[in-house]
Amino acid sequence: MNPDPFAALGLPARPDLSDEQVRAAWRSIAAATHPDRPDGGDLARYTAASAAYAQLRTSWARSEAYADLIEQAEPDTSPLPPVPADVWPTPVPPWQPLITAAQVPARIRRGRPLRLLIRGAVAAALSLVVLHLIPGTAAAPADVFGLTWWFVLTGRKDLAPPPER
Amino acid sequence: MSAWSWLKLRVCLWLLRKTATVTRWLLLAAVVLVAWPVTLIAVIEYAAAWLRGWPAIRLFRTAAWALPVTAVWLIIVEVRVPGWRSAALIPGRAWGHGFHHLGGAGLAHTLALLVPVAIPAGLALAGLAWAWRTYAVTAGVGGWTASAPIIFDTRQWKRQVRTAKGLNKAPGAVPLLARGGRIPVGGTIRHIGHDWRPVFSLPAAVSGRHVVVVGATGSGKTNLMIRQWAGWFTAALQAARAGRGNRPLLIVLDCKGGRDARSKADRTRRLLYGAGARRVAIWPDEARLCLWDLPAHDLAVLLYQMIDTGTGAAAYYADILQAVLDLAVLAPCGAPVNTAAFLDRLEAKWLQRAWGDGRHPAELARARAAGRHLPDIQLRYATLLGRLGPALDGPGSLAEADAWYCILEGTSEPSVAEAQAMALTELAARAATAPDAEPRVMLLAADDYSAVARRVPVSNLYERGRSLGIGVQVSAQTWQGLGRDDDERYRIAATADGGVFVLRTPYPEPLTLLAGHRRVLDTAHKLVGNIWADEGTTRIQRAPVADPDLIRHLEVGQACYIQGGAATFVQVARPKASPLTLLPAPAGGPVVQVPEARREPDPMPPTWPQGPASLDDAFGPGGTR
């Protein structure tokens, strides 16, 4: 399996390449390296380009290859030797809720912070508008609560999942 | 009655009908205008449901989630002005006050005052309106043209897909494991019979039972299966950590092999490490297993089954083969410890020496009788075991890792892969039943099992798994790939109590039959010219719960989950472990075990141990003399 099929075709590693772009890249490399050329071509490069083309031919395959590249760029997780049975599994500590709370900033950072910021800004702005429009009424704190409630319920999916999930 | 009178009567009746209709619409418009805050919310939510392909249930649930706001508002009102009568009057006063200030600020002021009541009411109203619209169009009583149901369905499907894809992109929407030990699969596109949830998920226990996945190459089957494996592993690991179960052991048989398999193995391993696994072994590239660790009887049966024996006249040789194997493996000195030792035993001299202790005359006679067949049998096994390579020659056992990804070259070497599959399933069975081994909760997943299913039918695998308490997941590219004949295929599909995932496949009908049929309304209209007249008929018809044509046209990554007479279409999310981890980064280390030299036991029959030179050796100093 080619570790970087985009590089083999001389293309930027992007998931939104079109079929034509991929095909054109492969054709240009194939024309220059085909073994039937008078100069003998470059069999290794031709083979690599053909394999990469087969890997990137469809848009789905390109997005998968791109995702694979992104995953490979993350810290390497090479195999471990066996762990003694008495070391694992570690029980859940009683202070787990505190750990979960402490993870929230990291989950925001590794999630979609911009979207979360926009949501928060919208909720805050609307809360200010409500407090300005109907100060002192019973509906004002209820509206602010509603906006906070909306932010909490809809913002959860913009956080990265906790480590145990 | 004269013609003129009849004409007048008809006109009057027509006018009465039209007046009633207009009055009804005017009344509705008046109510809509008067209750404008509720109407505004309802219109916005109705439009959102239409644009995003939401089902009506989503609007009802959102209305329920908005009720805490109403509750908070009621509590505040009650604290300020005790008595529920005042709470009931406040919205009326605010609404009446709004009509005196019809400017932008006045309307905003009124809306803000009424939000705690208007939002749940508007959402519920939008839900009712959307449910009616969906019902009317699908039943054929709504829409302007005869093709309205088809256009509506097609358009809504596209919107539902877009919404599901959008949901899958949210980092926290589709984790490997959701609350309550459920394994999320991806955004729900459409549900028929199942409970609707924005993200379709399965209880981990379901994934640990028998699941069938059918989908053509490139339909997204791998993503779906890897997600299931990682989700199951995470759930089982958490249960073990909480003391509610045993450690998980995942065994994946990638029966197609090839370069793709290595890539899939790497992905699975990365994901499982992210999920908390401490060792994921890739067989045969990086780890070994030992076939010879099996109990002697099981080993003899397995070795017999690994060889193609044929039927008819060949059965005679099969019996000889089995007899020789029993003699070689069940010898008094114990089972062979490796391939070389086993091949050594397939010699007349060895067998006669092993059984020639005087206490096994029948076995010795059989060993002598089989003498002339032994070179052939030895040659066959030397060839088979040579082709299998050293990966099954040990040392190593399934218990040494949290997960095993076994790559079988079912495409390039089908006969070898079949033998390997048999050996691996036998080792899995041994791991599940060994009395001295640590109990593990196990899932055996066979990807593209049809590549090796000739010798071990999937139904056998299922029954074996069920009897041993092992969950079995099997994937095939087509309905035909599930088994040799329809009987076997139906048996496999019908016993998949964990459900059936069908991805894009050219012949989904037999699988969709499992979901059964549902009753739908079929309305016929009388046409006058090109438009619908007032008359028509409606009948109850039966339609498949899982539409085979819809499945045939599924895009890559879309699946239909069939279980319990219901179906859910889902956009499978690419599995990804949480970017955060509490576990230390795995350090590098050797996985390929260097085989240790194992000594073959002496074929000589065990002799009675000679007495100790002194009784002190037996009873210790000071013992009875």
Tell me, yes or no, if A146 comes closer than 8 A to chain B by beta carbon. Answer: yes
Is residue B81 a contact partner of residue B161, using CB atoms and an 8 Å limit?
A: no
Give residue A42's pLDDT: 87
B128 shares a domain with B225: no
Separation in Å, CA B583 to CA A84, A90, A97, A104: 16, 11, 17, 17
pTM over 0.90: no
Amino acid making up residue B606: P
The A residues from 6 to 25 touching B (CB cutoff 8 Å) are none
DSSP string, chain A: --S-HHHHTT----TT--HHHHHHHHHHHHHHH-TTSTT---HHHHHHHHHHHHHHSSHHHHHHHHHHHHHHHSPP----PPPPGGG-SPPPPTTHHHHHHHTHHHHHHHS-HHHHHHHHHHHHHHHHHHHHHSTTSSHHHHHHHHHHHHHHHHHGGGSPPPTT-
**HEC assignment per residue over B26-65:** HHHHHHHHHCHHHHHHHHHHHHHHHHHCCCHHHHHHHHHH
Closest CA to B234 of B462, B428, B403: B403
Residue B157: other Cβ atoms inside 10 A: 16
End residue of a domain, out of B388, B407, B428: B388
Residue A81 above 70 pLDDT? no
Mean pLDDT of A23-50: 87
Cis peptide preceding B395, ω within 30 of 0? yes
Residues of chain A in contact with residue B587, where contact means CB-CB under 8 angstroms, are: 78, 80
Residues of chain B in contact with residue A141, where contact means CB-CB under 8 angstroms, are: 72, 76
Separation in Å, CA B117 to CA A143, B38, B110: 10, 8, 12
Give residue B608's pLDDT: 43
Give residue B616's pLDDT: 45
Q: Do A142 and B69 touch (CB under 8 A)?
A: yes
B457 shares a domain with B553: yes
Give residue B142's pLDDT: 80
Q: Looking at CA atoms only, how far is residue A146 from chain B in angstroms?
A: 5
Beta-carbon contacts below 8 Å between A and B:
175
B551 shares a domain with B416: yes
Beta-bridged to residue A3, according to DSSP, are: none
Q: Do A137 and B113 touch (CB under 8 A)?
A: yes
Q: Give A148: exposed, middle or buried? Use CB within 10 Å, 0-12, 13-18, 19+.
A: middle
Tell me, yes or no, if A28 comes closer than 8 A to chain B by beta carbon. Answer: no
B450 shares a domain with B370: no
Reported in sequence order, the residue ranges of B466-516 that DSSP labels E, i.e. its strands, are: 471-476, 500-502
Q: Do B585 and A137 touch (CB under 8 A)?
A: no
Tell me, yes or no, if A4 comes closer than 8 A to chain B by beta carbon. Answer: no
B114 shares a domain with B83: yes
Q: A42-54 as b/e, with b when 16 or more CB fall inside 10 Å?
A: beeebebbbebbe
By residue count, chain B amounts to 625
The full set of domain ranges for chain A reads 5-73, 95-158
The B residues from 54 to 113 touching A (CB cutoff 8 Å) are 65-66, 68-70, 72-73, 76-77, 80, 90, 94, 105, 108-109, 112-113
Residues of chain B in contact with residue A112, where contact means CB-CB under 8 angstroms, are: 170-171
Q: Give A31: exposed, middle or buried? Use CB within 10 Å, 0-12, 13-18, 19+.
A: exposed
End residue of a domain, out of B139, B156, B190: B139
Separation in Å, CA B28 to CA B23, B107, B111: 8, 21, 21
B205 shares a domain with B178: yes
Q: Do A143 and B280 touch (CB under 8 A)?
A: no
Residues of chain A in contact with residue B167, where contact means CB-CB under 8 angstroms, are: 157
User: How many whole angstroms separate alpha carbon A147 and alpha carbon B307?
Assistant: 70
Q: Do B580 and A133 touch (CB under 8 A)?
A: no
Q: Write out pLDDT tens, residues A41-62.
A: 888 888 888 888 888 887 777 8
ipTM, two decimals, is 0.73
Q: Do A79 and B281 touch (CB under 8 A)?
A: yes
Residues of chain B in contact with residue A142, where contact means CB-CB under 8 angstroms, are: 69-70, 72-73, 76, 115-116
Is residue B477 a contact partner of residue B213, using CB atoms and an 8 Å limit?
A: no
Phi then psi for B332, rounded to 5 degrees? -60, -25
Residues of chain A in contact with residue B397, where contact means CB-CB under 8 angstroms, are: none
Task: Suggest the residue from A4, A56, A77 to mutate for an interface test with chain B (most B CBs closer than 10 A).
Answer: A77
Give residue B209's pLDDT: 79
End residue of a domain, out of B388, B415, B443: B388
Closest CA to B164 of B195, B184, B189: B189
DSSP string, B294-321: S-HHHHHHHHHHTS---STTHHHHHHHH
Tell me, yes or no, if A145 comes closer than 8 A to chain B by beta carbon. Answer: yes
Residues of chain B in contact with residue A58, where contact means CB-CB under 8 angstroms, are: 218, 556
Q: Which of B171, B247, B270 shows the shortest C-beta gap to A77?
A: B270
B237 shares a domain with B192: yes
Contacts of B168 (CB under 8 A, 6+ apart): B174, B186, B187, B571, B573, B574
Structure tokens at A138: 């019973």
Separation in Å, CA A47 to CA A5, A41, A54, A101, B157: 12, 11, 11, 52, 41
Contacts of B121 (CB under 8 A, 6+ apart): B38, B41, B63
B534 shares a domain with B421: yes
Task: For chain A, report the end-to-end CA distance as a whole number of angstroms.
Answer: 29
Range of the domain at B85: 35-139
The A residues from 53 to 92 touching B (CB cutoff 8 Å) are 58, 60-61, 64, 67-68, 71, 74-75, 77-83, 85, 88-92
Which pairing describes strands B471-476 and B440-447: parallel, antiparallel, or unpaired?
parallel
The A residues from 113 to 132 touching B (CB cutoff 8 Å) are 129-130
Is residue B274 a contact partner of residue B581, using CB atoms and an 8 Å limit?
A: yes
Q: Chain A residue with minimal CA distance to B440?
A: A85
Q: Do B279 and A103 touch (CB under 8 A)?
A: no
B400 shares a domain with B525: yes
Q: Which of A83, A106, A157 shows the shortest C-beta gap to B278?
A: A83
Answer whether residue B577 is part of any domain: no
Q: Chain A residue with minimal CA distance to B273?
A: A77
Q: Which of B173, B273, B585 shows the shortest C-beta gap to A157?
A: B173
Tell me, yes or no, if A157 comes closer than 8 A to chain B by beta carbon. Answer: yes
Task: Suggest the residue from B238, B578, B592 to mutate for an interface test with chain A (most A CBs closer than 10 A).
Answer: B578
Give residue B607's pLDDT: 47
Q: Do A142 and B218 touch (CB under 8 A)?
A: no
Residues of chain B in contact with residue A64, where contact means CB-CB under 8 angstroms, are: 223, 574
Q: Do A82 and B587 touch (CB under 8 A)?
A: no
Q: Looking at CA atoms only, how far is residue B564 from chain A in angstroms?
A: 28
Q: Write out pLDDT tens, residues A107-116.
A: 888 888 999 9
B559 shares a domain with B536: yes
Answer whether residue B9 is part of any domain: no
Q: Do A157 and B276 touch (CB under 8 A)?
A: no
User: How many whole angstroms separate alpha carbon B403 and alpha carbon B214?
Assistant: 23
B203 shares a domain with B118: no
Task: Suggest the residue from B61, B72, B75, B246 to mutate for an interface test with chain A (most A CBs closer than 10 A).
Answer: B72
Give residue B311's pLDDT: 64
Q: Looking at CA atoms only, how far is residue A57 from chain B in angstroms?
A: 12
- Indicate the class that CATH gives domain A5-73: mainly alpha
Q: Give B321: exposed, middle or buried? Use CB within 10 Å, 0-12, 13-18, 19+.
A: buried
Give residue B599's pLDDT: 53
Q: Which of B90, B173, B274 shows the shortest C-beta gap to A138?
A: B90
Answer whether residue B145 is part of any domain: no
Residues of chain B in contact with residue A106, where contact means CB-CB under 8 angstroms, are: 580
Q: Do B112 and A88 touch (CB under 8 A)?
A: no
Give residue B618's pLDDT: 42
Show the low-confidence residues of chain B (pLDDT under 50).
582-597, 605-625
Give residue A78's pLDDT: 45
- CATH number reported for the structural domain that contains residue B476 in this entry: 3.40.50.300
Give residue B272's pLDDT: 87
Q: Do A164 and B177 touch (CB under 8 A)?
A: yes
Per-residue confidence band for A91, with pLDDT thresholds at 50, 70 and 90:
low
B553 shares a domain with B431: yes
Answer whether residue B591 is part of any domain: no
Total tally of structural domains belonging to chain B: 3
Tell me, yes or no, if A105 comes closer than 8 A to chain B by beta carbon. Answer: no
Q: Chain A residue with minimal CA distance to B263?
A: A1
